[in-house]
Copies of this chain bind each other. A is one copy, B any other.
Amino acid sequence: MFHQVTIIGLGLIGSSLARAAKSYGLSSRVVAYDVDPSVRARVAELGIADAVANELENAVTDADLTIICVPVGATSDVARQMKDHLKPGAIVSDVGSVKGMVCDALSQILRPDVHIVPAHPVAGTEYSGPDSGFATLFQDRWCIITPPDGTSPDAIEKVRAFWCGCGANVESMSAHHHDLVLAITSHVPHLIAYNIVGTAADLEEVTQSEVIKFSAGGFRDFTRIAASDPTMWRDIFLNNKDAVLEMLGRFNEDLAALQRMIRWGDGQGLYDLFTRTRAIRRSIIAQGQETSAPDFGRVRKED
């Protein structure tokens, strides 16, 4: 499919992509670069790329497709550094969870003879680093591409084919719409998960050891989300500010209404909402975006 794919940043997503590209034969050669020398050493040890470059410039020189897999706040720096070393006609993509700011930055920084096809695979776990990746991470997940107007259809098709090769379904939309969709399906959920874990840690009446002991009643599910990479998530909130604040405003309005129902004992109102939310879960399971195993398929003794 490609002669050379270069991956910049070998965290959970980057290292999973390197593994997928090799496992599914999506590129004759996979080159990896990470700014952290210890990550480069580990990637070489793991053998998940054909070559590990010590400089970003060398890594991209012969790449047909370069995929930037760094926290979105670092994307511009990476783009500036690779700019003069990309070959004409090369495709540059990324995997950032924010697309508006990233698309603008890439379009402004990169040369006009390079194709820009930003992408965002909606997949992940709470773990970080090159050891946490696996080839099947993108299987049956969605990957959203947000090519700017006027992007070469051929370049778009190549990026789409690459993600399909990783097992993902690909959907195209504007960067602006992507940022709204992800604000409600990912960014605000992470924000409130981080928030409640912080609130629980600060209580005086309830000890932290009690919070930990009795976490199986719901809290522990939030802690998984709140264990995600802090740098990555800081950058997401700083770079998708408008959409996050908009969705958070709606969340707050709805929560105020719910709070009022509890205060005034409106059992019917609570019941109606709690019934309505079940249907959405059923659709998510029906569409293969979730396992229906109880308790997330957590493994139980003796079952």
Task: Please give the residue numbers on chain A whose beta carbons come within 8 Å of chain B beta carbons, in ascending order.
Answer: 73, 97, 122-127, 132, 134-136, 139-142, 144, 171, 177, 180-182, 184-203, 205-206, 208, 210-228, 230-231, 233-235, 237-238, 241, 244-245, 247-248, 250-252, 254-255, 258-259, 261-263, 265, 267, 270-271, 273-278, 280-284, 287, 289-291, 293-303
Contacts and interface: CB of A to CB of B under 8 A. Distances in A.
A223 B300 contact: no
**Across the A-B interface, the 10 shortest Cβ-Cβ residue pairs:** A186-B217, A230-B274, A296-B296, A125-B294, A189-B218, A227-B281, A226-B277, A223-B281, A197-B277, A125-B295
A132 B294 CA distance: 8
A57 B88 CA distance: 84
B136 A301 contact: yes
Given A122-B216, A189-B219, A196-B189, A297 B299 contact: yes
Contacts of A184: 196, 199-200, 203, 206, 211, 219
Contacts of A225: 218, 221
A214 B144 contact: yes
A212 B139 contact: no
Q: How many copies of this chain does the complex contain?
A: 2
Given A200-B280, A233-B270, A141 B216 contact: yes
B300 A211 contact: no
Contacts of A126: 281, 294-295
